[in-house]
Structure 1
Amino acid sequence: MTGDVASTSVESPPALDPTKTRSHGSFGRYVAIRFLLMVPTVLILVTLVFFLIRLTGDPITAALGGRLPADQLAERIAEAGYDRPVLVQYFEYLAQIFTFDFGTTITDNRPVAEVLLTYGGATAELVFYSLIVAFILGIPLGMVAAALRDRWPDAILRVSAILFYATPVFFSGLVAKLVFSVWLGIFPVSGRASVRTEIALTREGGTGIYLIDAIASGNPAYVQDVLMHAVLPAMTLGLLTAGIFLRLVRTNVIGTYNMPYVDAARSRGVSEFRLVRKHAYRPALIPIITVIGLQIALLLGGAVLTETTFEWQGLGFQLAKYLSARDFVAVQGIVAMIAIIVALTNFVVDIIAAFIDPRVRY
Structure 2
Amino acid sequence: MSDNATAASATSSATSKPKKNHLSGGFFRFVLTRFLLIIPTVFILVTIVFFVMRATGDPISAAMGGRLTPDELQRRIHAAGYDRPLIVQYIDYLGGLLHGDLGTTLTDNQPVVTILTRYGAATFELAFLSLIVALIVGIGLGRLAAKYRDRAADAGIRVFAILCYATPVFFLGLVLKLIFAVWLNILPPSGRSDLSSEMQFQRLVSPTGFYIIDALQLGDMTVLADVLRHAVLPALALGLLTAGVFIRLVRTNVISTYTSGYVEAARSRGVSEKRLLDKHAWRPALIPIITVMGMQIAMMLAGAVLTETTFEWKGLGFMLSNYLKARDFVAVQGIVILIAIIVAVVNFIVDVISALIDPRVRY
Q: Same fold (TM over 0.5)?
A: yes
Any residues of structure 2 matched to 1:104-143 within 5 Å, and which?
Answer: 104-143=104-143
State yes or no: 1:90 paired with 2:65.
no
Equivalent residue runs for 1:218-237 within 5 Å = 218-237=219-238
Task: Using the TM superposition, give the Cα deviation of residue 99 of structure 1 relative to its aligned residue in structure 2, in angstroms.
Answer: 2.2
CA distance in structure 1 between the aligned counterparts of 2:168 and 2:274, rounded to whole angstroms: 33
Alignment of 1:23-62 (within 5 A): 24-62=24-62
Hey, what's the Cα distance between the residues in 2 that align with 1:316 and 1:22?
A: 39
Residue pair 2:142, 2:248 contacting (<8 A) in 1 also? yes
Task: Confirm or deny: 8 A CA contact 2:22 2:356 kept in the other structure.
Answer: no
Q: Please give the per-residue CA displacement for 1:308-344, whole angstroms capped at 9, x wherever unaligned.
A: 0000010000000000000000000000000001001
Residues 197, 225 of structure 1: 8 Å contact kept: yes
Matched residue SS, 2:67: coil
1:361 positional shift: 3.2
Kindly indicate whether the alpha-carbon contact (under 8 Å) linking 2:293 and 2:350 is maintained by their aligned counterparts in 1.
Answer: yes
- Letter of the 1:191 partner, please give it: G
Give 1:356 shift: 1.7
1:200-223 CA-to-partner distances (Å, cap 9, x unmatched) read 113424100000000111010011
For 1:88 and 1:190, the matched residues in 2 are separated by 44
User: Structure 1 length as normaliser, TM-score?
Assistant: 0.93
1:23 offset after TM fit, Å?
6.6
Counterparts of 1:223 and 1:250, CA distance in 2: 35
What is the rounded CA distance, in whole Å, between the counterparts of 1:243 and 1:309 in structure 2? 20
User: Which residue identity does 2:170 align to in structure 1?
Assistant: F
Unaligned runs of 5+ in 2: 1-9
The offset of 1:150, in angstroms, is 1.4
CA separation in 2, counterparts of 1:345 and 1:98?
21
Aligned to 1:5: none
Query: In the alignment, does 2:309 pair up with 1:308?
Result: yes
Aligned ranges for residues 195-206 of structure 1 at < 5 Å? 195-204=195-204, 205-206=206-207
Residue identity matched to 1:184? L
Judge which range, 275-284 or 100-109, deviates more: 275-284
CA distance in 2, matches of 1:257, 1:56: 55
The residue type paired with residue 47 of structure 1 is T
In structure 2, C-alpha distance between the alignment counterparts of 1:34 and 1:254, rounded to whole Å: 32
- Could you say if the C-alpha distance between residues 59 and 347 of structure 1 is closer, same or farther in structure 2, counting changes exceeding 3 Å? same
1:215 aligned to 2:232? no
- Separation of aligned partners in 2, 1:202 and 1:255: 53
8 Å Cα contact 2:212/2:228 also seen in 1:
yes
How far 1:185 sits from its partner (Å)? 0.5
Partner of 2:249: 248
1:39-59: CA deviation from partner (whole Å, max 9, x where unpaired): 121111111111111111000
CA distance in 1, matches of 2:19, 2:167: 48
Q: What's the TM-score, normalizing by structure 2?
A: 0.93
Shift of 1:239: 0.1
Structure 1 stretch displaced more, 41-50 or 221-230: 41-50
1:156 and 2:156 are equivalent in the alignment: yes
Q: Which amino acid aligns with 1:215?
A: L
Unaligned runs of at least 5 residues, structure 1: 1-10
Distance 1:22 1:60 in 2: 52
The residue correspondences of 1:160-199 to structure 2 (distance < 5 A) are: 160-199=160-199
Change in Cα spacing, 1:22 to 1:351, as seen in structure 2 (3 Å) is: closer
Q: Which runs of 4+ in 1 moved over 6 A?
A: none
Please give the alpha-carbon distance, in whole angstroms, between the structure 2 residues aligned to 1:195 and 1:220.
16
Equivalent pairs, count:
351
Instruction: State the one-letter code of the partner of 1:276.
Output: L
Give the corresponding residue for 1:266.
267
Alpha-carbon contact 2:132-2:239 (below 8 Å) kept: yes
Distance across 2 between alignment mates of 1:234 and 1:313: 14
Deviates more, 1:271-280 or 1:317-326: 271-280
Q: How far has the Cα of 1:74 moved from its partner?
A: 0.8
> What is aligned with 1:4?
none
The whole-number CA distance in structure 1 between the counterparts of 2:188 and 2:274 is: 38
Partner AA of 1:124 in structure 2: F
Q: Percent identity?
A: 64
Aligned to 1:360: 361
Deviation string, structure 1 residues 212-266 (Cα, Å, up to 9, x no partner): 0001110100110000000000000000110111111111111112333311332
Is residue 320 of structure 2 the alignment partner of residue 319 of structure 1? yes
Equivalent position amino acid for 2:240 in 1: L
